[in-house]
């Protein structure tokens, strides 16, 4: 029997795959890329057909030596890197390092890490897909050209440490443009009028909103107009003019793509795109599930497709029939249209429905379980029947005014039954146009011509609001809609623009910084194409064409570089040094007395003396908690460790060494009077407790928590023993 070497990207993936293959297979991890363009130099020969200079990545020498040794001892080598362009490029570089000819059938790929998928992949190796490699190479060179040509320009003209990129610069533009819309927005006043009506004197009142005046849509722009209308409505007779009953359906959403997973995880779980992708990678590569060993829980998480394999659909249909009943099972398995032409991978879904969220709960950490539950429930729901609502619309006439009351009730839950509530209220409702179904409202059974009694009128003043700032979810959504980048690039793009100081997250919303505006305005003036949304989206389409073998990567690069080089030359000559606006604080420098200014560093803003370099005094910007230090009476402020972990300490440090991990609260303990803190327990829960460890209320809380933790451990221990007991019972 021949010996085979299988090379994957990560140790976790290797560990999961190894148990599916026999003793004649050795599985090793490449730890990602082993060759790349050099960091210390440009690495692309612009005069010789954009020839890239690839080198072995520093620090990977021992790993490369180990892989070469394993390949030498194997009769056949399989390259099982991720099934996307990046994975194809890694396989291509591995083939070069291991001296494997490009046309050798050495490449295997799979969409899920299950025994069936792995064994099927090994039976069907193929050559490396060179068009995919060329598409990845074109993207890498494009990003190298923009990054290594534009970034030094920003260093010279603005300040060191800045960067520019094809996708990140457009993302900054979207955020800055939205901020300008908000700044330019002028709110307009408008009023609504709600009538509280009753069927009978003792019946429950219901709401009807004024919707039309003299047959025209109501538009109430001021208080005087609202008061005049209220005066008339108080004298009017309210008559039911029409009652409409109908049945409405709400269809389930498709299973997750990369983009929709990032959006929903941001909305529901508060995860950043980066965190979502890290956890999804763990779920895909495999986790230890009880005594089953390493198990891959979801299919590949980088996909634009909503397609589901027929075998997975059949498994889902069987599960739905057994769990919910035939009424929840559509006549045929649902299919969902893909927004893009690529359909290389399935949607993100569980690899097997035998492993429910409850079944794996004790084997996953809190965040892994949340994301797995999100994926699980979305997939099951996508294969179920629509939810059905009974809706009721009542039109009411009051003289020359028309009012409307709407109500709805769930008649049949359909796919909504799949959502357990374990991760909060379902957001499926938010993604549909049926906003009138969001809240269940019961209306009385009324008939046309029936006279209603007015309980009271409620006029309310409103003001139009500016467009909202982008959140993680809405930014990912607009990037996808406009075709900017690809879902797999969203997470690093967002982290880069935050790390570079172009935008900042404030209460989970993106705010552009002054630096972001300055750099954007500079780039827009001289590199309008780089910042153009349609141009950037068009470049993504060209990369897709390269991957499909319909375009030459050299031609795409040549078309881009010629005008870019001209813009770069012009900008170098025309741009002088750009002075960034200086924000002066109210804090004097202890050394020279000048008012310190706000500067931006790698880890955020800080205060610096404007007398630099003569005076080099700096200090952090401290966030006051509003709580007094128990040692010296100074203010307790928020501080950060070198690893950016938050803790709290006295503002008078080092004179006062008070510090705590718990966030101080302004409330005082009712037992001893000490300040309260927000304490994080070992299991991840939070609670407000007294800061005084000797306080009886603190001791009671600690005892209760210890007892609860012990009870939870006991439950988990019983859950882990249960499968083994069941097996013994089944085996007689």
> What does the pLDDT look like over 232-254, one tens digit per residue?
999 999 999 999 999 999 999 99
pLDDT band at 340 (very low <50, low <70, confident <90, very high): low
Of the ranges 118-132, 143-157, 630-644, which one carries the lowest mean pLDDT score? 630-644
Domain membership of residue 512 (yes or no) is yes
Residue 346, Cα to own-chain centre: how many angstroms? 20
Dump pLDDT digits (tens) for 18-71: 888 888 999 999 988 999 999 989 999 999 999 999 999 999 999 999 999 999
Give the residue numbers marked as catalytic: 300
CATH number of the domain encompassing residue 424? 2.70.20.10
Sheet holding 4-8, edge to edge: 25-29, 4-8, 76-79
- Residue 460's pLDDT band (cuts 50, 70, 90): very high
Average pLDDT over residues 509-530: 91
Residue 289: inside a domain, yes or no? yes
Q: Are residues 240 and 268 in the same domain?
A: no
- The answer to whether 5 and 28 have CB atoms below 8 angstroms apart is yes
Give the pLDDT mean for 417-439.
55
Which of residues 542, 574, 606 is at a domain's end?
A: 574
- Tell me what the mean pLDDT of segment 521-541 comes to: 90
User: In this predicted structure, what is the pLDDT of residue 338?
Assistant: 73
Question: Is the domain of 238 the same as that of 200?
Answer: yes
**Over the stretch 69-126, which tens digit does the pLDDT of each residue have?**
999 999 999 999 988 899 999 999 999 999 999 889 999 999 888 888 999 999 999 9
- Specify the range with the lowest mean pLDDT, choosing from 29-38, 409-418, 719-728: 719-728
Of 33-37, 484-488, 579-583, 643-647, give the range with the top mean pLDDT.
33-37
CATH number where 23 lies: 3.40.50.140
Does 114 lie in the same domain as 20?
yes
pLDDT (0 to 100) of residue 602: 62
Kindly state whether residues 29 and 100 are assigned to the same domain. yes
CB atoms within 10 A of CB 465: 10
Residue 176 CA, chain-centre distance (Å), reads: 20
Segment among 98-112, 448-462, 623-637 with least mean pLDDT? 623-637
Is residue 41 in a domain? Answer: yes
459 in any annotated domain: yes
Same domain, 291 and 210: no
CATH code: domain of residue 296: 1.10.290.10
What pairs with residue 77 in β-bridges?
5
Looking at the structure, do residues 36 and 82 belong to the same domain, yes or no?
yes
What residue numbers bound the domain in which 524 lies?
Answer: 145-185+487-574
**Tally of structural domains, the chain:** 4
Which is it for strands 4-8 and 25-29: parallel, antiparallel or unpaired? Answer: parallel
User: Of 370, 385, 400, which marks where a domain is finished?
Assistant: 385
The pLDDT, as a whole number, for residue 162 is 83
* Residue 279 and residue 376 in one domain: yes
Asked whether the beta carbons of 255 and 374 are under 8 A apart, the reply is no
| CB-based contact 381:329 (threshold 8 Å) | no
CATH number at residue 556: 1.10.460.10
Calculate what percentage of the chain has a pLDDT beyond 90.
58
pLDDT (mean) for 539-564? 94
What is the enclosing helix (H) or strand (E) of 238?
Answer: strand 238-250
Q: Are strands 401-412 and 451-463 parallel, antiparallel or unpaired?
A: unpaired
For residue 579, being part of any structural domain is answered with no
The pTM score is: 0.78
Long-range contacts of 599-604 (CB under 8 A, 24+ apart): 600/501, 600/513, 600/515, 602/161, 602/499, 603/640, 603/644
Residue 11 and residue 46 in one domain: yes
pLDDT over 60 (residue 136):
yes
The mean of the pLDDT values for the chain is 87
User: Mean pLDDT throughout 321-341?
Assistant: 86
Rg of the chain (C-alpha set): 31
Q: Which long-range contacts (CB under 8 A, 24 or more apart) does 101-104 make?
A: 102/127, 102/128, 102/130, 103/127
The DSSP bridge partners found for residue 52 are: 44
327 and 212 within one domain: no
Question: Residue 727 — very low, low, confident or very high, per pLDDT cuts 50/70/90?
Answer: very low
Q: Is the pLDDT of residue 673 over 90?
A: no
3-state secondary structure string across 69-89: HHHHCCCEEEECCCCCHHHHH
| Tokens coding 7 | 């090379």
Tell whether 405 and 523 lie within a shared domain.
Answer: no
What pLDDT band is residue 428 in, cutting at 50, 70 and 90? very low
Mean pLDDT calculated for residue range 308-322: 94
> Does a structural domain hold residue 594?
no
pLDDT (tens digit per residue) in 685-715: 677 888 888 888 776 666 655 555 555 555 5
Share of the chain above pLDDT 70, in %: 90
Tell me if 451 is assigned to some domain: yes
Task: Indicate the helix (H) or strand (E) that contains 180.
Answer: helix 166-184
Angstrom distance (rounded) from CA 562 to CA 412: 61
CB-based contacts of 357: which residues, under 8 Å, 6+ apart? 369, 372, 373, 376, 377, 420, 422
Indicate the pLDDT class of residue 725, thresholds 50, 70 and 90.
Answer: very low
Question: Are the C-beta atoms of 406 and 376 separated by less than 8 Å?
Answer: no
Nearest to 406 by CA among 375, 381, 382, 438: 438
Cα(112)–Cα(49) distance, integer angstroms: 38
- The span from the CA of 388 to the CA of 386, in Å, is 6
Last residue of a domain, one of 342, 366, 385: 385
CA distance 529 to 523: 9
> Rounded distance, CA 379 to CA 252, Å?
10
Please check whether residues 122 and 8 belong to one and the same domain.
Answer: yes
Q: Is residue 614 part of a domain?
A: no
Angle between helices 130-157 and 514-526 (to 10 degrees): 110
For residues 106 and 198, membership in a common domain is answered with no
The CA-atom distances, in angstroms, between 187 and each of 222, 462, 574 are 13, 10, 40
CA 575 – CA 60 distance, rounded (Å):
41
């Amino acid at each position: 029997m021949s010996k085979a070497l299988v090379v994957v990207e990560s140790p976790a993936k290797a560990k999961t795959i190894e148990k599916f293959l026999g003793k004649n297979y050795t599985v090793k991890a490449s730890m990602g890329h082993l060759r790349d363009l050099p960091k210390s130099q440009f690495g692309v020969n612009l005069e010789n057909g954009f020839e890239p200079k690839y080198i072995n990545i520093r620090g990977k020498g021992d790993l490369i030596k180990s892989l070469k040794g394993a390949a030498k001892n194997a009769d056949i080598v399989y390259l099982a890197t991720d099934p996307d362009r990046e994975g194809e490029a890694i396989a291509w570089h591995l083939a070069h390092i291991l001296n494997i000819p490009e046309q050798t059938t050495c490449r295997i790929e799979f969409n899920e890490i299950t025994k069936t998928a792995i064994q099927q992949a090994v039976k069907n190796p193929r050559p490396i897909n060179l068009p995919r490699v060329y598409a990845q190479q074109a993207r890498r060179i494009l990003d190298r050209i923009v990054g290594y040509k534009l970034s030094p320009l920003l260093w010279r003209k603005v300040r060191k440490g800045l960067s520019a990129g094809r996708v990140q610069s457009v993302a900054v533009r979207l955020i800055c443009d939205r901020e300008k819309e908000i700044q330019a927005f002028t709110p307009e006043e408008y009023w609504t009028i709600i009538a509280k009506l009753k069927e009978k004197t003792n019946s429950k009142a219901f709401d009807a909103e004024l919707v039309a005046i003299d047959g025209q849509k109501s538009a109430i722009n001021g208080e005087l107009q609202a008061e005049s209308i209220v005066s008339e409505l108080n004298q009017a007779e309210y008559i039911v003019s029409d009652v409409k009953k109908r049945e409405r359906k709400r269809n389930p959403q498709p299973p997750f793509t990369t983009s929709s997973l990032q959006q929903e995880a941001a909305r529901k779980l508060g995860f950043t795109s980066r965190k979502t992708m890290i956890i999804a990678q763990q779920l895909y590569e495999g986790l230890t599930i009880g005594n089953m060993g390493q198990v891959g829980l979801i299919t590949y998480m980088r996909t634009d497709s909503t397609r589901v394999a027929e075998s997975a659909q059949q498994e889902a249909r069987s599960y739905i029939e057994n769990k919910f009943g035939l009424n929840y099972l559509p006549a045929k398995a649902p299919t969902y249209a893909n927004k893009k032409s690529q359909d290389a991978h399935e949607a993100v879904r569980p690899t097997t429905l035998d492993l429910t969220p409850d079944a794996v709960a004790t084997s996953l950490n809190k965040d892994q379980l949340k994301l797995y539950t999100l994926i699980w429930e979305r997939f099951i729901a996508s294969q179920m029947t629509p939810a059905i609502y009974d809706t009721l619309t009542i039109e009411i006439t009051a003289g020359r005014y028309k009012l409307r009351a709407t109500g709805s009730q769930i008649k049949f839950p359909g796919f909504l039954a799949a959502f357990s509530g374990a991760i909060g209220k379902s957001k499926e409702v938010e993604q549909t146009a049926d906003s009138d179904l969001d809240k269940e409202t019961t209306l009385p059974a009324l008939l046309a011509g029936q006279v209603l009694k007015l309980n009271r009128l409620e006029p309310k003043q409103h003001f139009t609001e500016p467009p909202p700032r982008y959140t993680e979810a809405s930014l990912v959504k607009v990037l996808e809609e406009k075709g900017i980048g690809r879902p797999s690039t969203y997470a690093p793009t967002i982290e880069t623009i935050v790390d570079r100081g172009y935008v900042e997250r404030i209460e989970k919303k993106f705010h552009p910084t002054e630096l972001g505006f300055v750099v954007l305005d500079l780039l827009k003036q001289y590199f309008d194409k780089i910042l153009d949304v349609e141009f950037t989206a068009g470049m993504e389409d060209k990369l897709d064409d390269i991957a499909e073998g319909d375009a030459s990567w050299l031609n795409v690069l040549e078309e881009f570089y010629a005008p870019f080089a001209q813009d770069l030359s012009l900008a170098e000559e025309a741009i002088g040094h750009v002075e960034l606006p200086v924000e002066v604080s109210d804090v004097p420098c202890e050394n020279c007395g000048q008012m310190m200014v706000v500067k931006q560093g790698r880890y955020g803003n800080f205060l610096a003396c404007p007398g630099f370099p003569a005076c080099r005094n700096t200090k952090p910007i401290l966030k006051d908690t509003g709580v007094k230090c128990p040692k010296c009476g100074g203010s307790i402020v928020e501080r950060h460790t070198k690893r950016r972990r938050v803790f709290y300490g006295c503002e008078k440090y080092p004179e006062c060494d008070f510090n705590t991990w718990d966030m101080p609260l302004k409330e005082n303990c009712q037992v001893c009077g000490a300040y309260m803190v927000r304490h994080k327990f070992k299991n991840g829960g939070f609670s407000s407790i007294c800061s005084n460890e000797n306080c009886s209320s603190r001791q009671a809380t600690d005892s209760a928590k210890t007892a609860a933790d012990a009870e939870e451990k006991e439950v988990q221990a019983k859950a882990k023993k249960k499968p083994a007991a069941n097996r013994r019972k089944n085996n007689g």
